[in-house]
Amino acid sequence: MNQKELKAFRDALLKEKERILTSISHLEQHTQQVSRGNISESAGVPTHIADFGTDAFEKDLDLNLTSSELELLQKIEESLKKIEEKKYGICEACKKPIPKARLRAVPYANFCIKCQRIQEQEKGRQQG
Ligand SMILES: [Zn+2]
């Protein structure tokens, strides 16, 4: 991979990182609004009970989303580090170069498609 290609992937990673940081900060604001929101005001009003469930559900979704975004952020940081260490684009499992088409779609990919599938299968087995 030449410097120009590496720079393009680095730019893509930085852009994605920025997007996640923005989305996480939005989510945090939203979650704070939900938890601060109307719950105390509507307490004791029976018609609003259904809304409580929705709020709690939404809050759960937000938290899940944030944790998966954080995971992604971590991957991006790792990939940026790999670029610096000149190890970027190498599959962690089979140590072969990850196809550039895959890196263009998923710039933070740690594995080639073949090894990624094996990883996912093993993960599925662990979860039962
Ligand atoms: Zn591989």
Rg (CA), the chain: 20
What pLDDT, on the 0 to 100 scale, is given for residue 40? 47
What separation in Å is there between the alpha carbon of 92 and the centre of ligand 1? 7
What pLDDT, on the 0 to 100 scale, is given for residue 41? 47
What pLDDT, on the 0 to 100 scale, is given for residue 13? 97
What pLDDT, on the 0 to 100 scale, is given for residue 101? 95
Banded pLDDT at 42 (limits 50, 70, 90): very low
Q: Give the tens place of pLDDT for each residue, 11-38.
A: 999 999 999 999 888 877 877 777 665 5
What separation in Å is there between the alpha carbon of 2 and the centre of ligand 1? 21
What separation in Å is there between the alpha carbon of 96 and the centre of ligand 1? 6
Q: Where are the chain's structural domains? A: 1-88, 90-128
DSSP-based helix, strand, coil % in the chain, nearest 5: 75, 0, 20
What pLDDT, on the 0 to 100 scale, is given for residue 92? 94
What separation in Å is there between the alpha carbon of 88 and the centre of ligand 1? 13
Alpha-carbon span 83 to 128, nearest angstrom? 35
Instruction: Report the CATH superfamily, name and number, of domain 1-88.
Output: DksA, coiled-coil domain (1.20.120.910)
Neighbours of ion ligand 1 (CB under 5 A): 91, 93-94, 112, 115
What separation in Å is there between the alpha carbon of 94 and the centre of ligand 1? 4
What pLDDT, on the 0 to 100 scale, is given for residue 36? 67
- At 97, phi and psi to the nearest 5? -60, 135
What separation in Å is there between the alpha carbon of 7 and the centre of ligand 1? 23
Q: Which two tokens stand for residue 82?
A: 């790999």
Alpha-carbon span 17 to 73, nearest angstrom? 6
Q: Which two tokens stand for residue 94?
A: 């089979």
Q: Which two tokens stand for residue 123?
A: 């993960």
Q: Give the tens place of pLDDT for each residue, 63-103.
A: 677 788 889 999 999 999 999 999 999 999 999 999 999 99
Amino acid identity of residue 109, one-letter, is: A
pTM of this structure: 0.70
What pLDDT, on the 0 to 100 scale, is given for residue 83? 96
What pLDDT, on the 0 to 100 scale, is given for residue 80? 97
